[in-house]
Structure 1
């Protein structure tokens, strides 16, 4: 795609929020990227425009049949003041995987990444530099065609919005409490659990309400068929350190292939720490705790990076992990990944991309 990206200037810029009170997903930058699709001419009219509300017809197909997908990425202010992205090509590929599963037209991954870089350079003053902060990047696509028949739409809109954010869970490395869900399921093999579609998250909210009411930060989902094998947490993949080895559920078609998940696995192998991707039941996790071998549990995801787990509740049976303290391995992984993201540590994997150093 050789299209030029148009720029529509905003009349008045917003006041930047206080870095100390950012939270997650509360504030949005001055501009957003927009591009449209029609089956007759493909993706067209790429533009950076002022952030503003959208106008959609009540019969827009997204409202009725849910063709909506998204990605989550971050930009970081590095120690040398440059702006870094972390493995963005993985997000572009996963976005296209989601497009394929939801019958949405494929995007040009290189072009969209170029557009995101251009948007970030336009909004470089929105990239925070406080401890634990970042610029959250949300690309998303949804159907806009006006039609009430059930079929893939012929028209779509792609947007990218930016949100300066702090830690996802507040105190970033304070261990969270996780509720193991028994009644509801997140996804089935053959469904859409392996892609980032909006409906996955809508379906999770009932269980999350129950967890919230009982004082738990997140849900740990079990498999839909046997209701025994661990899958993932609501916003993260999950890892267990058992007797010196790290185990994480194997990707099976109902688990999201997280970019941070893959980074953790590569990092552990680089450190020669045993790591296995395999089915693991909740019974095995509890049995390991009973034997005194469950050393650490942590989640991994873009929003939180690494989130240690201090407590699990399954069928009203509560276990405490590492005395509600972050484990050494969780801390080491967090320090290494964030150090690479911020340019403070060597990047032997070539994971980071300097936004300004790449032609846009």
Structure 2
């Protein structure tokens, strides 16, 4: 993390993604004796950790990602933070960590957003990315869960995850490694899920691709995720449009954006299906023209079209390689809702004054 002195100018045109930190940090501690205590908003600064901090050694680290958006009346609103709070509790339970109550989770997030809201410009493509984090803080190297924990909330001003323009990305199918396995931690958001994915991601980038596509760990046949994002397929037969995504089998992260797009697509009149999709079906569908669009979604990437695929069994193009109309429609509907430019029938936007 940066210190206050190293704070970046987050009002510039292209903040990028991940280092334009805002000026405040929220901290909250947990111990068996005191429960959750000492919640405080403070200036962004470095942490001081003992080398034997248990979370560093045994991976007791969980986090979330959500965004706040500038609204038409200049207020900020956070997109579906209750879903992130619920997933944070599930992640904590899976890693034998104390479950943080929703009101404490939201309280920390709200304090950071309220304190730093003026650092978000009115640029329509910018947002405030919020990162809640919790890790074990015991100074002890016994192989056991920590007893004490630190919960943090920090934020940065974000531009586009793949750049300032929405462009189709090239992806590479990974057939040698898996992101998650049955009964593992693929459906929770823990730090240990991400480090092992970097080798395959780097291999994909060396092959000229922006992202890696993960397959199931058993047969290496079924499409699961793209990087840390959920994948959607658009099948078109004459005038019938079907929006397909892989089901939540326990190895996929239940994305908040994924769930939102399923509901938005239904409202827009599309037929929505959750079912397994194999690499062979993906390739064949693009060859016959039945699969006309593929896109990934997530908090950081929003909705990102997939234009081409590289695979050891042969490469192929999705549709014409561009951004398809359904992808464009769903992305615009989501962004308009998040920025308060369209109705919010489900009450997804949590306003912060």
Change (3 A) 1:80 1:325: same
2:246–2:275 CA contact under 8 A, matched in 1: yes
In 1, the alpha carbon distance for the partners of 2:338 and 2:296 equals 18
The corresponding residue for 1:261 is 258
Deviation at 1:114, TM superposition (A): 2.0
Structure 2 match to 1:98: 91
Equivalent residue for 1:4?
A: none
How far apart are the structure 1 equivalents of 2:165 and 2:137?
Answer: 37
- In structure 2, what is the equivalent of residue 210 of structure 1? 203
Relative to structure 1, is the Cα distance of residues 212 and 15 closer, same or farther in structure 2, using a 3 angstrom cutoff?
A: closer
Structure 1 gap segments, 5+ residues each:
1-9
Aligned length: 347
The alignment status of 1:70 with 2:67, answered yes or no, reads no
**Aligned equivalent of 1:5:** none
**2:228 is matched with which residue?**
235
Q: 1:127 to 1:18 in 2, by over 3 A?
A: closer
- The answer (yes or no) to whether the contact 1:34–1:157 under 8 Å persists in 2 is yes
Alignment RMSD (CA, Å):
1.5
Contact 1:86 1:341 in 2 (8 A): yes
Q: Which position in structure 1 is the counterpart of 2:159?
A: 166
The equivalent residue for 1:3 is: none
CA contact (8 A) 1:172 1:304 kept: no
> In the alignment, what sits opposite 2:32?
39
Distance between the aligned counterparts of 1:217 and 1:226, measured in 2? 25
Query: What displacement does 1:279 show?
Result: 1.2
Q: CA deviation at 1:11?
A: 8.9
**Do 1:93 and 1:109's aligned partners in 2 also have CA atoms closer than 8 Å?**
yes
Specify the alignment match of 1:110 in structure 2.
Answer: 103
Range moving further from structure 2, 125-134 or 92-101 = 125-134
Deviations 1:103-146 (A, max 9, x none): 11010112220221122111111123213100100001011101
SS at match of 2:293: strand
Tell me if structure 1 keeps the 8 A contact 2:29–2:36: yes
Q: Scaled by the length of structure 1, what TM-score is found? A: 0.93
Aligned to 2:133: 140
Q: 2:284 aligns with which of 279, 282, 287?
A: 287
Work out the CA distance in 1 between the residues paired with 2:73 and 2:35.
Answer: 40
Deviation per CA, 1:282-327: give whole Å up to 9, x if none: 1111111122111100001000110001011121511111222101
Q: How much has 1:30 moved relative to structure 2?
A: 1.0
Q: Is 1:157 aligned with 2:150?
A: yes
Secondary structure at the counterpart of residue 194 of structure 1? coil
Q: TM-score, normalised by structure 2?
A: 0.95
Aligned position for 2:51: 58
Query: CA separation in 1, counterparts of 2:233 and 2:56?
Result: 39
Work out the CA distance in 2 between the residues paired with 1:53 and 1:277: 43
Structure 2 matches for 1:268-279, cutoff 5 A?
A: 268-279=265-276
**Alignment partners' CA distance in 1, 2:202 and 2:83:** 31
Runs (5+) with no aligned partner, structure 2: none
CA contact (8 A) 2:286 2:319 kept: no
Q: What secondary structure is seen at the aligned counterpart in 1 of 2:57? A: helix
Match of residue 346 from structure 1: 343
Per-residue deviation at 1:15?
Answer: 6.1
